[in-house]
């Protein structure tokens, strides 16, 4: 049956963190390009925003263009691939996975590229298919459903399926989440990304790579002239506590609320020192919005150990509703009557909780970290210290919001620690080992003050360049460094003075992450956008279909 294009599929449930949009199809013989678009139709707006429009070229150019248009502001990313994943008359399976700050795009199970979010994914309302291809299906999977796809197909538990080859159908399974606590309007705040759907009360451990990424995480060693291996600075600030400091005069009144200085985000750390009571049943640590008790606030991350069951429940609380429990039953690290030191580290993917220096559990983000303003502790424990230092945890690695474009500036604020210190900054194309590092910058204070620039492309470090002589950095003196994206180079300024220029080695649009490491007190990494011109691109307009299966009303 001939299918009329463009073809639109309505997204009936918000695309949540971990959701996979799977598109299967076949480029026709002689095809030039096809288009897969994720659109945002806002109330009252005739023209839809484009969260992601992916346009593979099949005319021999091996090019895949990714475009977004949000409120008439356009951003475009062009990617070239030596091994092109699409070809005429060969079927493909395209998978677009919602990550916290980007879409992960794979073809036939192999990772292809990433594309940073330009608008919250849960605002996406339609998937539109067009171009020189026969599209066979569009499916939506939660994270767990996709992981267990073959089993779910056998049990008919697919989240949503629309089969285009036999006409439009909608088959909905019983959703594995508490509908009452997860109504659409619970996440109207554009800063929040709703949670991954799991069975209520299900016991499971989230599976995730916990490797510590940093600059130069390649499989190849850095050349000698770059001197990559850094020594741990003796000046580095590390949170410590002394048992003799635990007495009744330092014990905190409960519940205790700590206001977090500055904005909470990737790299921030919370330290908690306490002692569980001998008859302890439970205690709670809550990262929340404001200093009021539940139910008069939002719990961005609630951590509650239960001593009788020797398990820990993690959850969120928003708009007077609890989310889905994430219960950790293994390796319970607390003992009644015993002291403990907790560390909660905010990462790009979620929170990591360490107890007495050992990683205990991870909790994937459900709400934006920026909503955290206070830490609350309460329960059957004596708490002596709750701290959130100004410094970010190193090594620091975070996705660049909105990606890089001409005119964008990255700001780094920090202080070099000590006379013999060194530190480094990298702009990378992903967090995977061996990923491209189009711009690497390192400062050494000993034995001679120098700065080094280099790039790591295709597993090879280039010759780099050394900048010797007086540096704009001084040990133990705070600085503000700017990296400005210009058409031909990165321009680096320190305290508003030009320092160096570094010519682009790869299209800057491919850069997705920034990393920082070394003997440095890093206070902030922030961004400023300055758009240079606009380029025109195809936009879709969506009008209500006149009947459930009619696509003729969807025009371009």
For residues 27 and 178, give the distance between their C-alpha atoms in angstroms, rounded to a whole number. Answer: 40
- When comparing pLDDT for 145 and 21, which is higher? 21
- When comparing pLDDT for 402 and 238, which is higher? 402
165-179 mean pLDDT: 31
Per-residue confidence at 228, pLDDT binned at 50, 70, 90?
very low
For residue 192, being part of any structural domain is answered with no
Do 250 and 332 lie in one domain? The reply is yes
Measure the N-to-C terminal CA separation of the chain; round to a whole number of Å.
22
For residue 181, being part of any structural domain is answered with no
Residues 438-468 have pLDDT tens digits of 999 999 887 778 899 999 998 898 878 888 7
Residue 380 has pLDDT above 70, yes or no: yes
The pLDDT assigned to 246 comes to: 59
For residue 549, being part of any structural domain is answered with no
Residue 237 has pLDDT above 60, yes or no: no
Percent of the chain predicted with pLDDT > 90: 37
Per-residue confidence at 247, pLDDT binned at 50, 70, 90?
low
- Which of 387, 402, 433 represents a domain boundary (last residue)? 387
Residues 258-302 have pLDDT tens digits of 999 888 888 899 999 999 999 999 999 999 999 998 888 999 999
The pLDDT assigned to 456 comes to: 93
Segment among 59-68, 146-155, 272-281, 501-510 with least mean pLDDT: 146-155
Do 455 and 524 lie in one domain? The reply is yes
Q: How many domains does the chain have?
A: 3
For residues 476 and 390, give the distance between their C-alpha atoms in angstroms, rounded to a whole number. Answer: 16
Residue 316 has pLDDT above 90, yes or no: yes
Do 429 and 314 lie in one domain? The reply is no
Residues 354-379 have pLDDT tens digits of 999 899 999 999 888 889 999 999 99
For residue 343, being part of any structural domain is answered with yes
| Pair of tokens at residue 285 | 């640590």
Placement of tokens 């940093």 in the chain: 214
- When comparing pLDDT for 181 and 242, which is higher? 242
Do 359 and 401 lie in one domain? The reply is no
Do 370 and 487 lie in one domain? The reply is no
Placement of tokens 């620690």 in the chain: 417
- Which of 125, 143, 175 represents a domain boundary (last residue)? 175
Do 265 and 383 lie in one domain? The reply is yes
Please report, for the domain that includes residue 434, its CATH number: 2.60.120.200
Do 305 and 416 lie in one domain? The reply is no
| Pair of tokens at residue 548 | 């459930």
The pLDDT assigned to 45 comes to: 72
Residue 554 has pLDDT above 50, yes or no: no
Beta-sheet strand order (sheet of 350-355): 358-364, 350-355, 339-346, 269-276, 381-387
Segment among 34-38, 168-172, 445-449 with least mean pLDDT: 168-172
Residues 467-511 have pLDDT tens digits of 876 889 988 899 999 999 999 999 999 998 999 999 999 999 999
Do 22 and 158 lie in one domain? The reply is yes
Residue 224 has pLDDT above 70, yes or no: no
Residue 203 has pLDDT above 70, yes or no: no
For residue 203, being part of any structural domain is answered with no
Do 448 and 310 lie in one domain? The reply is no
Do 403 and 508 lie in one domain? The reply is yes
Per-residue confidence at 136, pLDDT binned at 50, 70, 90?
confident
The pLDDT assigned to 137 comes to: 82
Instruction: Tell me if the pTM is above 0.95.
Output: no
The pLDDT assigned to 249 comes to: 63
Domain span at residue 406 reads 394-528
Per-residue confidence at 530, pLDDT binned at 50, 70, 90?
low
Q: What are the CB-based long-range contacts (under 8 Å, 24+) for 62-66?
A: 64/112, 64/113, 66/113, 66/115
Q: Tell me which residue of 22, 110, 115 sits closest to 401, measured CA to CA.
A: 115
For residue 231, being part of any structural domain is answered with no
The pLDDT assigned to 450 comes to: 86
- Which of 358, 387, 416 represents a domain boundary (last residue)? 387
Residue 153 has pLDDT above 60, yes or no: no
For residue 163, being part of any structural domain is answered with yes
Residue 342 has pLDDT above 90, yes or no: yes
| Pair of tokens at residue 108 | 């036939």
Do 487 and 378 lie in one domain? The reply is no
The pLDDT assigned to 402 comes to: 81
For residue 44, being part of any structural domain is answered with yes
- Contact between 486 and 408 (Cβ < 8 Å): no
Percent of the chain predicted with pLDDT > 70: 76
Over 97-109, what HEC string results?
EECCCEEEEEECC
Segment among 85-89, 121-125, 494-498, 529-533 with least mean pLDDT: 529-533
Do 403 and 475 lie in one domain? The reply is yes
């Amino acid at each position: 049956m001939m299918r009329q294009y463009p073809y639109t599929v309505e997204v009936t449930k918000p695309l949540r963190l971990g959701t996979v949009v799977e598109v299967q199809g076949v480029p026709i013989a002689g095809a030039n390009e096809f288009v897969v678009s994720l659109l945002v139709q806002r109330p009252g707006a005739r023209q839809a925003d484009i969260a992601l429009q992916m346009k593979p070229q099949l005319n021999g150019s091996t090019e895949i263009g990714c475009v977004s248009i949000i409120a008439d502001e356009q951003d475009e990313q062009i990617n070239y691939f030596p091994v092109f994943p699409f070809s005429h008359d060969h079927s493909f399976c395209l998978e677009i996975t919602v990550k916290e700050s980007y879409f992960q795009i794979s073809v036939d199970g192999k990772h292809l590229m990433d594309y940073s979010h330009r608008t919250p994914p849960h605002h996406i309302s339609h998937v539109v298919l067009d171009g020189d291809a026969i599209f066979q299906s569009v499916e939506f999977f939660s994270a767990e459903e996709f992981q267990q796809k073959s089993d779910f197909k056998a049990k008919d538990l697919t989240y949503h399926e629309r089969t285009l080859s036999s006409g439009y159908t909608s088959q909905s399974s019983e959703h594995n989440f508490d509908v009452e606590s997860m109504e659409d309007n619970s996440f109207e705040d554009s800063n929040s990304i709703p949670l991954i759907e799991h069975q209520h009360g299900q016991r499971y451990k989230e599976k995730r790579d916990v490797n510590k990424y940093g600059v130069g995480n390649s499989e190849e060693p850095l050349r000698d002239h770059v001197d990559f291996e850094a020594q741990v600075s003796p000046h580095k600030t590390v949170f410590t506590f002394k048992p003799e400091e635990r007495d009744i005069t330092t014990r905190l009144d409960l519940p205790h609320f700590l206001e977090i200085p500055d904005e909470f985000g990737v790299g921030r750390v919370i330290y908690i020192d306490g002692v569980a009571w001998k008859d302890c049943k439970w205690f709670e640590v809550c990262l929340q919005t404001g200093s009021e008790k539940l139910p008069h606030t939002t719990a961005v991350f609630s951590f509650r150990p239960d001593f009788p069951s020797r398990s820990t429940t993690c959850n969120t609380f928003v708009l007077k509703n609890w989310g889905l429990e994430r219960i950790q039953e293994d390796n319970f690290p607390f003992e009644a009557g015993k002291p403990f030191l907790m560390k909660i580290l905010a990462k790009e993917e979620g929170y990591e909780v360490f107890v007495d220096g050992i990683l205990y559990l991870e909790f994937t983000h459900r709400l934006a970290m920026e909503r955290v303003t206070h830490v609350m502790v309460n329960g059957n424990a004596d708490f002596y210290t709750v701290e959130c230092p100004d410094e970010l945890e190193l090594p620091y690695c975070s996705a660049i919001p909105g990606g890089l474009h001409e005119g964008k500036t990255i700001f780094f604020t920090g202080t070099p620690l000590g006379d013999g210190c060194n530190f480094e900054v990298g702009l990378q194309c992903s967090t995977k080992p061996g990923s491209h590092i189009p711009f690497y910058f390192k400062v050494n204070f000993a034995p001679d003050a120098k700065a080094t620039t280099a790039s790591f492309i295709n597993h090879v470090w280039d010759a780099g360049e050394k900048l010797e002589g007086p540096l704009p950095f001084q040990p133990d003196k705070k600085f503000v460094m700017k990296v400005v994206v210009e058409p031909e180079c990165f321009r680096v300024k320190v305290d508003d003075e030009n320092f160096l220029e570094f010519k682009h080695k790869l299209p800057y649009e491919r850069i997705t992450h920034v990393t920082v490491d070394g003997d440095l007190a890093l206070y902030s990494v922030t961004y400023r956008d300055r758009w240079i011109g606009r380029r025109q691109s195809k936009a879709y307009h969506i009008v209500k279909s006149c009947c459930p299966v009619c696509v003729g009303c969807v025009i371009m």
